[in-house]
Chain A
Amino acid sequence: MNGLIGAVLFLILAPVAGGLIAGIDRKITARMQGRVGPPLLQPFYDVGKLFEKENVVVTTAQNFYVLAYLIFIALSGALFFAGGDLLLIVFAFTLAHVFLVLGAYAVHSPYSHIGAERELIQLMAYEPMVILAAVGLYMVTNSFYVADMVATTVPVILYLPGVFLGFVTILTIKLRKSPFDISTSHHAHQEIVKGITTEFSGSTLGQVEIAHWYENVFLLGFLYLFFSWNPVIGIIAVAITYAAEIFVDNVTARARWQAALKSGWLAAGVLGLVNLAILSYMMTGGV
């Protein structure tokens, strides 16, 4: 029952929270760049306006893929906040992204084609670390269920510092932040054309934005799992991490896809795996 409430609350509140986070993000970013920045609620105005635009498409199929993307992002987030199986959630999340990529392929346009290829490279870059993070959380809490991970009284972060750092690295990819915003970026200065979302406009683009809000709330929830033994510390830690991501976003330039792939895989291989190997050695007294 708790699970159902969690899921419903996520579905209703996550877009609000996600939009506010985006607003704060833009404000802080602006201040870092010496600008005043837009009003806090600007993301909502933007998306609201998108839904009033004329419905223009390259091919009708794109609407289908983007809708599927939104639905499955929302579904994986809902499963997460319902306390479901973390691995299943990760796989549902991948399914959602494949739909976005297919939408970009479907329009058969040079710019979104490159965006789609790059999005897939990003997917390939972050996937190992996400799986290792789920496994690490299992090793500490003895359960793949988010509900059990949240209920733990163990300070997970102390067992998984490497996994946490690795996860933060790939979080940059997931939040579409520089230097790894290679498939599409929030910043106009990063690219001439909008990469994977080039051909999406109007309400379809609005759906992509909303999906991104859902996604960000889900990712911050994932981050929270490392600190869930103490909610106050947890929320502070998540806020600091996000602020750090904004900082990194503003002080780095976009890297090449090779760098993104290598960083993601090295994060998993060095930070994640070494941490897990030491952990399993400690826990079983012999790996």
Chain B
Amino acid sequence: MQTLLFLILFPILVACLLLFVKQTTLRYAVVALSALSIGGASIYLLIRYAFGGAVYFAASSEVASLAMVAIEMGLALFIIYMGAKFRNYLAIALAVVQAALVVYLEISFPENLHAVNNLFIDQFSIIMALIVGIIGSLIAVYAVRYMETYHHHHPEVRDRQKMFFFVTFAFLAAMFGLVFSNNLMWLFFFWEITTISSFLLIGYSETEEATKNAFRALVMNLLGGVAFVVALIFLAATEPTSGGIELSRVLASPDAAVILIPAVLIGFAGITKAALMPFSSWLLGAMVAPTPVSALLHSSTMVKAGVYILVRFSPVFAGTFAGFSIGLVGAVTFVVASAIAISQSNAKSVLAYSTIANLGLIAACAGVGTYMLVWAAILLIVFHAVAKSLLFLGTGAIEHRLGSRDIEDMEGLIVRMPKMAVMMFIGIAGMFLAPFGMLISKWAAIEAFVQVPFGLVFIAILAYGSAVTVFFWAKWMGKLVAVTRQAERVEKGFLEEPWAPLYIITGLVIAAVLLFPVISSTLIEPYVLAIYGATALLSQANVAIMLLMMALLLILPISFLLFRRSAKHLPVYMGGRPSTPDLHFAGSLGLTREVQTQNYYLTEYFGEARLFRPGAAVCIILILASWVLAGVAL
């Protein structure tokens, strides 16, 4: 239990310490050392608890619960203050409603708010802790130098780095708390901390746009928070049958109809936090924040909390129409967000839409909730976290060097920043190509949906969704690998430190493929087995084939040696006109003209303006349907 408490409390301690550190070098030392301890502790957690079942800890403390309520009230006041300052009355209203509901809960059901075991750990929590502990803290390390450069590039932004790193570490602490909590009141507390943290981080630059987007994120997540409290009130009121506020008892409750309602409400909170449609706009708005914040929100924290809770409750959703409906919200989000990604040329918004799409896919798996799908969902969470963090950090580094985050401007990155380009290449491959992770999960999801009643709907959506996914990733990859002649190499001069986290995460993307049979057999399969009594696994032959493909991919670059000596180089074909290697050709009248290449964005077909509203409308209907269906089931 000490490790659990350490992982929750130590980041808070570091956060407080960082409030007093001004100098970048010192901050780097503090952050790097704490990242090492947090990462080390999460690995220790893996070694210590991976080989047993779920372990519960009483950790009973009236003081802690009281303190949490007090902090919640304090945060509500803070939101009201901020809302008043920036005249966002919706945020105030939601904060008041939420605080009132919490007070009501505390006063009306004081005897039902005690959990025997407040903390717990099982294999799924370990996976989440590893993601937060390793990826999250690597992002924090990267952020130190990044923020220094960021302020260098943006002198107009007020330097609030102390606050920035305080919130970042508080965020990590909250994520640990969230995945270790068995007491749903505690879980809700940490849930709210993540909401506030993301609000503060998104609004970091204090521009009008940043403030607006921060409030949008806040409002949408508060909406989910309200649903969460309502679920808690419902659970407390039906304590004898539902199991009250203790997660393990709720999940084990024999009365499936009673717990379905709170599950759907908490699932709704998960949908808002995971930025599924119609709530996707907050995650897109979040990209105004400095890039490490995006990396954090997209890969290891925040949205992962949303899908974490959905996957936790998926045994409750399994086989219900309400769960099916939630699954459809995810599936529709997957296909619509993937399609919109085609029309985006801003790297960060492509990444954001891809995150939304993948979260949708995870939600689809969780909502339908058979054992194979839960297995696929957890695998998706792991692979997505690794690859997406790499892509965000890479985009941030590229933006600092090239002064743009437009994919068109990344043309020829392989010449200009070769190391960076290779890492981005691996990250993108990790998102959609065999034998990398995300594809394994998609494949598993297709095989699982075939066996589900009405699963054909999901298969169709997956088939179209993965087709468009290939399109938008491959064209980005194409831009990176274009060998532009006479382009200057600009990689050097970039601060040295941020490379280390990038190298490590790149290694993790590859390691995740090579080690995935081990990850599956030691962590995911035992978890699924413990809950469903059955588990999915890929056949040995297929695993062998994928490892063979991976090996081939690693060996193939050696073939460059074969080509080195041989060839004669010619400029490209330009309709038979004399041309130069940097895409100039001899036009008429002795003029030299330049050719430029641009990717297709097919805005007419896949534009945001065309697809977002219908997608959001369908998702709203499906969410409402999930509530009605849960109500009917009761």
Contacts and interface: CB of A to CB of B under 8 A. Distances in A.
Partners in one complex: yes
Interface of A: 54-61, 63-65, 67-68, 71-72, 75, 79, 84-85, 87-88, 91-92, 94-95, 98, 101-102, 104-113, 116-117, 120-121, 123-125, 127-129, 131-132, 135, 138-139, 144, 193, 198-199, 265, 268-269, 273, 276-277, 280, 284, 286-287
Contact of A123 (B414, B462, B467, B477): B467
A98 B470 contact: yes
Q: Size range of the interface on B?
A: 35 or more
Contacts of A84: 541-542, 545
Contacts of A57: 563, 567-570
Contact of A87 (B446, B549, B569): B446
Given A108-B482, A109-B572, A128 B566 contact: no
A117 B476 CA distance: 11
B43 interface: no
A61 B483 contact: yes
Contacts of B583: 108, 110
B481 A61 contact: yes
B556 A94 contact: no
B557 A131 contact: no
A124 B468 contact: yes
A58 B563 contact: no
B569 A71 contact: no
Of B483, B552, B564, chain A has the most CB atoms within 10 Å of the CB of B483
Contacts of A269: 460
Given A75-B549, A110-B595, A124 B471 contact: yes
Contacts, number: 185
17 contacts: A54-B568, A57-B569, A57-B570, A61-B483, A64-B563, A67-B559, A71-B556, A95-B434, A98-B477, A102-B474, A107-B483, A107-B572, A108-B482, A111-B573, A138-B450, A287-B454, A287-B456
A10 to B, nearest CB: 15
Given A107-B483, A277-B456, A284-B453, A58 B570 contact: yes
Contact of B568 (A56, A107, A124, A193): A56
Given A63-B563, A64-B557, A124 B478 contact: no
A79 B545 contact: yes
Interface string B569-612: 11111110000010100000000000101011000000000000
Contacts of A104: 478
A91 B471 contact: no
B145 interface: no
A106 B563 contact: no
B186 to A, nearest CB: 41
Nearest to A193: B573
Of B412, B414, B460, B570, chain A has the most CB atoms within 10 Å of the CB of B460
Contact of A127 (B467, B475, B557, B567): B467
Given A64-B556, A67-B559, A79-B545, A59 B470 contact: no
Interface string B42-55: 00000000000000
Contacts of B552: 71-72, 75
Given A132-B463, A265-B464, 14 more contacts: A56-B569, A58-B581, A61-B414, A71-B556, A88-B546, A102-B481, A107-B572, A108-B482, A109-B574, A117-B599, A120-B471, A138-B450, A268-B464, A269-B460
Contacts of B414: 61, 106
Nearest to A114: B597
Contacts of B454: 287
Contacts of A107: 482-483, 572
B573 A124 contact: no
B459 interface: yes
Contact of A91 (B439, B484, B573): B439
Interface of B: 411-412, 414, 433-434, 439, 443, 446-447, 450, 453-454, 456, 459-460, 462-464, 466-468, 470-471, 474-475, 477-479, 481-485, 539, 541-542, 545-546, 549, 552, 556-557, 559-560, 562-564, 566-575, 581, 583, 595, 597, 599-600
Per CB-CB distance, the 3 closest pairs between chain A and chain B, nearest first, are A105-B478, A109-B572, A127-B467
Given A56-B570, A71-B556, A88-B545, A95 B459 contact: no
Contacts of B474: 98, 101-102, 120, 123
Nearest to A125: B467
Contacts of A59: 483, 569
A109 B545 contact: no
A112 to B, nearest CB: 8
A108 B446 contact: no
Given A64-B559, A117-B600, A135-B459, A109 B471 contact: no
B567 A67 contact: no
Contacts of A60: 560, 563-564, 567
A63 B483 CA distance: 13
Given A85-B542, A120-B471, A128 B464 contact: yes
Nearest to B459: A135
B470 A120 contact: yes
B192 to A, nearest CB: 41
B597 A110 contact: yes
A199 B456 contact: no
Contacts of A109: 572-574
A125 B562 CA distance: 35
Contacts of B477: 98, 102, 105
B475 to A, nearest CB: 6
B471 A123 contact: yes
B567 A131 contact: no
Given A84-B545, A117-B475, A58 B463 contact: no
B151 to A, nearest CB: 36
Contacts of B459: 131-132, 135, 276
Contacts of B479: 105
B456 A91 contact: no
Given A138-B450, A198-B573, A55 B482 contact: no
Contact of A110 (B411, B450, B542, B574): B574
Contacts of B569: 56-59
A67 B557 CA distance: 10
A48 to B, nearest CB: 19
A57 B568 CA distance: 6
Given A107-B572, A108-B597, A131 B559 contact: no
A129 B483 CA distance: 34
Contacts of B573: 109, 111, 193, 198-199
A72 B562 CA distance: 18
Nearest to B446: A87
A171 to B, nearest CB: 16
A39 to B, nearest CB: 30
Nearest to B596: A110
A104 to B, nearest CB: 8
Contacts of B563: 57, 60, 63-64
Contacts of A61: 414, 481, 483, 560
Of A79, A105, A111, A198, chain B has the most CB atoms within 10 Å of the CB of A105
Contacts of A286: 453
A121 B484 contact: no
Contacts of A138: 450
A116 B568 contact: no
A116 B560 contact: no
B567 A55 contact: yes
Contacts of B545: 79, 84-85, 88
B464 A98 contact: no
B467 to A, nearest CB: 4
Contact of A63 (B450, B478, B567, B571): B567
